[in-house]
Amino acid sequence: MTENFIDIELMDIEGEIAEVETPLISPLLPVIQEDDLEKEPLIIKYGMIEYRKKRLEMNKQNEPEDLLNDEQKKYLTLLSEGLSNQEACAELGIDRIVPTIWSKMRGSDSVYGICIQAIKDMQADDLEDEVWKEAIGNPRSTELKKFALKARKEEYKDNIQQQTNVQTNIHVTLDGTPYMTQTESGDGDA
């Protein structure tokens, strides 16, 4: 699928509005294409399409496209198929720190970063399903799963509001002379 972008000019001709279609001559035309991604795994297709959309939104289509090497594609594919980081790294014969380095070097707006975020979202959904099944089928809950879910999904995080600085005013009178003392406590223990 190739998306083409058309610039539509509206012209007032004797009180009537006429549409004149003029094809844009710009680098926008080839940016969002799925044709070149046909043989790629689904997670890579998703990441590339989302990356290309971001490039259009940020008007960065003239910059060189971010591409994944074969090792990164295989790693992302293994993760999307359900392997853990450790299992995927062992399968590829790379150190476990390598994917973290890729993430840091490429950033969250890269194809790699978009794919990693999509995989984390899929893993969180799988975990949520598992927790739900456990809660329905087993009266006892698994604490480990609760903590894992809290780490992945914002709506499960503990929302404890931090108390702001508290000011305490103490009025002291010594031998008939009034003294005023002010103290501040940052933790609310006044």
Higher pLDDT, 113 or 2: 113
Q: Give the H or E element holding residue 183.
A: strand 177-185
Note whether residue 46 is domain-resident.
Answer: yes
CA–CA separation, 5 vs 46, rounded Å?
Answer: 21
Higher pLDDT, 1 or 139: 139
* pLDDT value for 4: 41
Give 160-163 contacts, CB < 8 A, sequence gap 24+. 163/187, 163/188
Residue 117 phi/psi, 5-degree rounding, is: -65, -40
Note whether residue 170 is domain-resident.
Answer: no
Note whether residue 133 is domain-resident.
Answer: yes
CA–CA separation, 100 vs 80, rounded Å?
Answer: 16
* pLDDT value for 29: 38
Note whether residue 179 is domain-resident.
Answer: no
CA–CA separation, 133 vs 61, rounded Å?
Answer: 45
Note whether residue 26 is domain-resident.
Answer: no
Total domains in the fold of the chain:
1
Mean pLDDT of the chain: 75
Copy the structure tokens of residue 86.
Answer: 């450790």
CA atoms within 13 A on the CB side of 145: 14
Note whether residue 128 is domain-resident.
Answer: yes
Copy the structure tokens of residue 83.
Answer: 């392997």
Note whether residue 144 is domain-resident.
Answer: yes
- Which neighbouring-strand residues pair with 173? 178
| Residue 7 pLDDT > 50 | no
CA distances from 45 to 38, 41, 72, 112, 188 (A): 8, 6, 13, 11, 51
Domain enclosing residue 76, as ranges? 31-156
Chain segment 127-151, per-residue pLDDT in tens: 888 877 776 666 666 676 777 777 7
Chain segment 33-90, per-residue pLDDT in tens: 556 777 888 999 999 989 888 888 888 878 788 889 999 999 999 999 999 999 999 9
* pLDDT value for 182: 59
Q: Report how far apart the first and last C-alpha atoms of the chain are (Å, whole number).
A: 65
* pLDDT value for 8: 37
Note whether residue 117 is domain-resident.
Answer: yes
